[in-house]
Amino acid sequence: MKNILIIGSTGQIGSELAMKLRREYPGGNVVAGYIKGAEPKGELLESGPSHLVDITDAAQIAEAVDKYNVDTIYNLAALLSAVAESKPQLAWKIGLGGLFNTLEVAREKGCAVFTPSSIGSFGPTTPHVKTPQDTIQRPETMYGVTKVSGELLSDYYFHRFGVDTRSVRFPGLISYVAPPGGGTTDYAVDIYYSAVKGEKFKCPLKPGTFMDMMYMPDALRAAVEIMEADPTRLRHRNSFNIASMSFDPEIISAKIKEHVPGFEMEYELDPLRQEIADSWPDSLDDTCAREEWDWKPEFGLEEMTVDMLKNLRVKLGK
């Protein structure tokens, strides 16, 4: 990787991935692709090039790839699971139409492509505990439909056209920089904000709702390491299970209480999010990622909680 285009660079993952790639690949261009209304600001704007790239417009992707001689595209454009249920047509247009545009540009111009998949690519008939790498994927959300279709389409472009597509299935991602927008796992970010602000947290999911979660530094490292992996070792491509921790609302709340003794949580259930969460795995088996490209997480719930609280206190001036 040298010249990299990030589509969706101002979102929850993109804003941090762009800065990490600029630090790690100082000799190349890391282009922050953005859409109107979500322009890069501050450090992201000032530390490197940016380019208008609406993923639904293939010509804009091609223009940015040509201008910066891009060899690798990180495609991070998506509507998250809950918001995608209110706009399923748009979710398809961005998730699958956008991926198709990206893969076509990559095929014509010889780029590698990373497109994250998700725990949302699984569904109610998937084995929920230690979900295997290769298993049933029959999601019932539009988000999941776009993710599992995206895995298939990405593998197709690799086998049929030799496009170097690779990806991981992200768990819920927890970070303090940019907020996620409209996902089912967002509660595990929001809970830290409430704890630092001294507010009682209203949890949208019921006790016992287990999902895989991951701290952003591990997720970013996974996104870089999979693209740098030795291709001769990869038996899978789209997309690898990765995991670092699994918890339910009671467990994360108790962990936060260890560090913020006055913290309180009550339940105010969101039926849509609950239904989605119930259809997703409780925990993924990431053996294949460990074996094929040496994936290994660094943050557990304790380390993440300490780091989140420390950084949010600074960010919120608390």
Q: Which residues bind ligand SER (CB under 6 A)?
A: 80-81, 118-120, 143, 170, 172, 183-185
Min. distance of Cβ 112 from ligand SER in angstroms? 22
**Catalytic residue list:** 143
DSSP secondary structure of 59-94: HHHHHHHHHTT--EEEE-----HHHHHHSHHHHHII
Name the token pair of 50: 């940016």
**CB 308, min distance to ligand SER, A:** 16
Whole-angstrom distance, CA of residue 72 vs CA of residue 54: 17
Q: Which is nearer to ligand SER, 167 or 185 (CB)?
A: 185
Instruction: State in angstroms the smallest separation of the CB of 119 from ligand SER.
Output: 6
Structure tokens at 287: 């053996």
Is the peptide bond preceding residue 239 cis, with omega within 30 degrees of 0? yes
Q: What is the DSSP letter of 132?
A: -
Which CB atom, from 58 or from 277, has the smaller least distance to ligand SER?
Answer: 277
